[in-house]
Amino acid sequence: MEIKSMQFKANAAGSLANVVLQGNLKNAKGKFVTRRAEAIKDLDDFEGTRDAAEAIRNKVIDNMDLWLEAFERKALDTGAKVLWAKDGAEVCRLVTEIARSHGVTKVTKSKSMLSEEAGLNQALEAAGIQPVETDLGEYILQVDNNEPPSHIIAPAVHKSLDDVADLFHKVHGTPRKTEIPALTREAREVLRGHFLSAEMGLSGGNFLVAETGSVALVTNEGNGRMVTTMPKVHVVITGIEKVIPTLEDLSTLMRLLPRSATGQPISNYFSILTGVKKPEEHDGPEHLYFILVDSGRADVVGGDFHAMLRCIRCGACMNHCPVYQTIGGHAYGWVYPGPMGSVLTPLYAGMENSIDLPHAATLCNQCGIVCPVKIPLPDLLRKLREKQTERGLRPLTERIGLRLWAWVAQRPRLYALGASVGARYLKWLAGDTDRIRLLPTAPEWTLGRDFPAPQGKTFRELYAARRNATPPT
């Protein structure tokens, strides 16, 4: 997917000015946050379960090569083929080759964020193969001129009912409908033909179970089952970090994933798919391929951002992020928005292509608190800021300003003088009012709010004066 993260600030301004989007975001925020808060109350020991989930994910990412080999052996035993992709281009090449080798002209897709990373739909279209998104949200976006998703589990969350009503009326050429059931029915009618005619189904994978060689899929629509069982070929595309050891581990993680994501105790559909159709079975694919993708993940192993590989893609961090809640996902400019995206985008798409993202957070740690696998997201964002500084990626004025400020702060007399002058300057700007309407030294502050006036003298000045007036007893 094309990366537009360098335009973060302009994107964010656009989001703030978009009245419809602001309404949609407000609506979505309430639902995600409230439902999750209710759902975790069901668990006897939420914090203990988080600890267990963290330990499971650490066990895997600390020895990822071994667990991947274990998964591969089991998957091969079940009749699947396991392919490895270094990057998005390899994903596109492998999927295209598989499709061609089976004479495929149409592919139905269940949601896969990795196919977004790889830009797979465009590659398939270029190869003359029709990709059809069947997740309702992804379908809406595909028919809206391939708009990118704005959320990892609710890709069209930025759209309102009215938006979708207009869109379906336009692209389906049907009378405009305003009821949700009527709109979903219309999408199902369109998709039904694709389900029946596609020769290949393509899905992501929430977890790969090493013990059984299975892929676990967590979905809320029936589309995932149609995509993975109806066509004769099923291709799973997922990141190499998604492997977990056992089905028991899967059950632990599943106590947290749907609750953290949508506030559901369990998703509407939960599938564990193992191997190809056996001779005595009626359903299932004849050919099953796993494409396990690196795309930057292996480079993260063992480094400063290792903990990020624990991520199980629930989206709780973005749902609870004050910045995401305010500007939505598109502003982040790539596949993954919110705090997770502000870490993943620099790691997978290049630090130099996403200068603003690690700074686009207040470090409030709401994300760290809700993360089901306890990823210290604010620490990782801060570490990325440090890396940017080390690599000279921040603007020169900012770097000089920071160094100068730290230099002065190590010299108490100079610092005290600076603070005295500063306090008087700010007081002068406020005049005889209690506020500054335009702050020349930090104009961003006063774009949307005033800057309160200081008292005029510093604490250290007033304290010294007080001490002089009343000698210590």
Partner 1 sequence: MARIRVAMFVTCLVDLMRPRIGFAALKLLETAGCEVIVPKTQTCCGQPAWNSGDAPGAVALAKKTIAEFEGFEYVVVPSGSCGEHIRVEYPRLFVDEPEWRDRATALASRTYELTDFLVTVLKVDSVPGDYEGTVTYHDSCSGLRGLGIKQQPRALLAKVKGVSLKEMNGCEECCGFGGTFSIKFGEVSAAIAERKCDNILASGAQAVVGGDLGCLLNIEGKLRRMGDETTQVLHVAEVLAGRT
Please check whether residue 22 is in contact with residue 16, taking contact to mean a CB–CB distance below 8 angstroms: yes
- Take residue 19 and report the two structure tokens written for it: 């009245």
Decide whether 169 or 394 has the Cβ nearer to partner 1.
Answer: 394
Query: Rounded to the nearest whole angstrom, what is the least distance from the CB of residue 402 to partner 1 in the complex?
Result: 5
- Which span (104-112, 238-246, 291-299, 380-388) binds partner 1, by CB under 8 A? 380-388
For partner 1, which is the closer residue by CB, 282 or 449? 449
CB of 59 to partner 1, least distance (A): 24
* Of the candidate residues 113, 319, 388, 430, the single one contacting partner 1 (CB under 8 A): 388
User: What is the nearest approach in angstroms of partner 1 to the Cβ of residue 180?
Assistant: 27
Residue 249: CB minimum distance to partner 1, A:
28
* Residue 392 in the binding site for partner 1 (CB under 8 A): no
Closer CB to partner 1, residue 244 or residue 419? 419
CA distance 352 to 369: 29
The Cα 90–Cα 97 span in angstroms is: 10
Q: Decide: is 302 part of the binding site for partner 1 (CB under 8 A).
A: no
CB of 394 to partner 1, least distance (A): 7
Q: Does 41 bind partner 1 (CB under 8 A)?
A: no
Please check whether residue 156 is in contact with residue 141, taking contact to mean a CB–CB distance below 8 angstroms.
Answer: yes
C-alpha 39/C-alpha 151 separation (Å) is 20
Q: What is the DSSP letter of 43?
A: S
Distance from C-alpha of 211 to C-alpha of 226, rounded to nearest angstrom: 25
* Using rule CB under 8 A, residue 59 touches partner 1: no
Name residues whose C-beta falls within 8 Å of residue 456's C-beta, 6 or more positions apart in sequence.
423, 424, 427
CA 121 to chain centroid: 19
Q: Which of residues 89 and 400 has its CB atom nearest to partner 1 in the complex? A: 400
CA 239 vs CA 52, 114, 197: distances in Å: 22, 7, 28
Please identify which residue in 3, 13, 43, 247 interacts with partner 1, judged by CB under 8 A. 13
- Spacing of C-alpha 417 from chain mean position: 46
Binding partner 1 (rule: CB under 8 A), the pick from 89, 266, 272, 409 is: 409
Q: Does 459 bind partner 1 (CB under 8 A)?
A: yes
Site membership for partner 1, residue 14 (CB under 8 A): no
Can you name the residues that pair with 234 across neighbouring β-strands? 201, 288
**160 lines the binding site for partner 1 (CB under 8 A):** no
Q: How many residues bind partner 1 (CB under 8 A)?
A: 64
- Rule CB under 8 A: say whether 419 interacts with partner 1: yes
H helix intervals, 46-86: 46-62, 64-77
Query: CB of residue 409 vs partner 1: minimum separation in angstroms?
Result: 4
Query: Mask 185-224, x = binds partner 1 (CB under 8 A)?
Result: ----------------------------------------
Find the binding residues for partner 1 in span 307-336 (CB under 8 A). Answer: 322-323, 325-327
| Residue 387 sits in the site that holds partner 1 (CB under 8 A) | yes
CB 285 within 8 A of CB 277: yes
Nearer Cβ to partner 1 (274/325): 325
Please identify which residue in 89, 248, 386, 417 interacts with partner 1, judged by CB under 8 A. 386
Could you tell me the two tokens for 332? 């982040």
Q: Are 378 and 367 in contact (CB under 8 A)?
A: yes
365: left (phi over 0), alpha (psi -120 to 50) or beta: left
Tell me whether residue 457 is exposed, middle or buried, using C-beta atoms within 10 angstroms of its C-beta: 0 to 12, 13 to 18, 19 or more. middle
Per-residue mark of binding to partner 1, 425-444 (x: CB under 8 A)? -x-------xx------xxx
Amino acid at 49: T
User: In this chain, which of 361, 377, 380, 430 binds partner 1, going by CB under 8 A?
Assistant: 361
18 binds partner 1 (CB under 8 A): no
The Cα-based distances of 429 to 115, 162, 234, 425, 448 in angstroms read 54, 47, 67, 6, 18
Cβ neighbours around 242 below 10 Å, total: 26
CB of 62 to partner 1, least distance (A): 20
Please tell me the distance from the alpha carbon of residue 290 to that of residue 416, in angstroms, as a whole number. 64
Which residue in 448, 469, 470, 471 binds partner 1 (CB under 8 A)?
Answer: 448
Tell me which of 402, 417, 428, 431 binds partner 1, using CB under 8 A. Answer: 402
Part in contact with partner 1 (CB under 8 A); list of ranges 50-58, 236-244, 261-269, 453-461: 453-461
Nearest to 273 by CA among 199, 192, 207, 194: 207
Say whether residue 343 binds partner 1 (CB under 8 A): no
Q: Which is nearer to partner 1, 45 or 434 (CB)?
A: 434
Round to whole Å and give the CA distance between 430 and 439: 9
Phi first, then psi, for residue 57 (nearest 5°) are -65, -35
* Residue 93 parent element (H or E): helix 88-101
Q: Which residues form the interface with partner 1 (CB under 8 A)?
A: 9, 12-13, 16, 322-323, 325-327, 359-366, 368-369, 382, 384-390, 394, 398, 402-403, 405-407, 409-410, 412, 415, 419, 422-423, 426, 434-435, 442-452, 454-455, 457-463
